[in-house]
Structure 1
Amino acid sequence: MSLVRVVFVAALALGIAACGWQLRGAGGGGFEGVPVAIEGDVGNRFRDRLAERLRDLDAVVVNDAIDARAVINIMAVSSRRRTVATDADGLASEYELRYRIRFSLEAGGKAGPEQATLARQTVRSSASFAANDDLQGRDAEEESLRRDLQDDALQLLLSRIGRRL
């Protein structure tokens, strides 16, 4: 009976691999060797983080859209905190952080006629955290969570763009 299970699992794995299925985020998308420019009115920290993630995927980050095959246009980046629970005294006991990136993908100067584009899209990530009486501890936790949410949102953005390249 265990041989039947082994054969079944092997056949299932082979079937999944043959159809091209992969875990979300497991592939690097189509960034390898692609010159990509980043445009938009965003802070240097965000731009640097996006450029770093693109380089990790083997993209060539260029400064000018003329030199790019694809241009990532960042229209807005925002982060919000809201109270989601209060205690008996009406003080916040839990917060929710939301992170949002609005972007589009446009053809750059080195794009071919088949270069895919993406209309304006938004990616979001969110998480909750407990309020802490220690203001410095709460601020540090919030900042760490905000960086994690930014990473999650960037992963979603790059996943969408990578499928189009």
Structure 2
Amino acid sequence: MPGGRGPWRVLLTAALLALAGCGFQLRGSVEIPPTLNPLYIQADAGSPVRRALLDLLAGSDVEVTRNATEARMVLRILAETSSSRVAAVDINGKTLAYELHYMVQFDALGEAGVQLVAPQGLDLVRTFDNPDVEVLGKRLEQDLIFEDFATEAADRILTRLRVALR
């Protein structure tokens, strides 16, 4: 039935054109003006957010340099802390849940130290249940949550950079 494939092609073409026309981009694509390449990420050694930023920028058009003097933009991770506090206890005083926090402060500087993005903060929060069973597994789960926080913080930082640099 050769006549049945034509409408599908038209519909598929129309859908692709609509997506292209609305500015849709795959998540993870980074829009930093070419005039601000290369980028230098200034953070403490072993920073989870720095590692996550490098992973998100891999394969993008953004060049990352290891030398701050070569950079046209410096993304500074000013502070990065993780903490937890008790969120719920039972009648015996045993902890049932924790509230996990991951806080990141950052800014971005251009050439000659011109501030491109003012200092901003992120506070990511998640509740973490603490049942009696699988104590070792819960510690690993908590570590994974903090890794997810670092990735989410990196994604939000790049989103804020996109908006601020337009």
TM range (shorter): 0.7 to 0.9
Task: Work out the CA distance in 2 between the residues paired with 1:125 and 1:56.
Answer: 27
Alpha-carbon distance in structure 1 between the residues aligned to 2:121 and 2:144: 22
Tell which structure's C-alpha radius of gyration is larger: 2
How far off its partner does 1:18 sit?
5.1
Find the residue that maps to 1:149 and give its secondary structure: helix
Give me the TM-score of the superposition, normalised by structure 1. 0.74
Contact 1:82 1:97 in 2 (8 A): yes
Alpha-carbon separation, structure 2, partners of 1:67 and 1:59: 14
Question: What amino acid is aligned across from residue 73 of structure 1 in structure 2?
Answer: R
Q: Does 1:130 align with 2:132?
A: no
- Whether 2:160 is the aligned partner of 1:160: answer yes
Give the SS at the match of 2:83: strand
1:72 maps onto 2:86 in alignment:
no
- 98-107 vs 130-139, greater mean Cα deviation: 130-139
Letter in 2 for 1:44: G
Structure 1: 4+ residue segments shifted above 6 A: 14-17
Contact persistence 1:66–1:108 (CA under 8 A): no
Aligned-residue CA RMSD (Å): 3.3
- Say how many residue pairs are matched: 153
- Could you list the runs of 5+ residues in structure 2 that have no partner in the other structure? 1-16
Note if contact 1:31-1:54 (Cα within 8 Å) is conserved in structure 2. Answer: no
What does residue 106 of structure 1 align with?
A: 109
Q: Which residue of 2 aligns with 1:10?
A: none
Q: Secondary structure at the match of 1:126?
A: strand
> Aligned match of 1:43 in 42, 45, 55?
45
Give ranges in structure 1 of 5+ residues lacking alignment.
Answer: 1-13
> TM-score scaled to structure 2, two decimals?
0.74
Deviates more, 1:155-164 or 1:128-137: 128-137
What are the Cα deviations for residues 86-125 of structure 1, in whole angstroms up to 9, with x where unaligned?
A: 112111101111111100010036x9xxx87001001222
**Residue identity opposite 1:102 in structure 2:** Q
2:100 matched to 1:97?
yes
Shift of residue 64, structure 1, vs aligned partner: 2.0
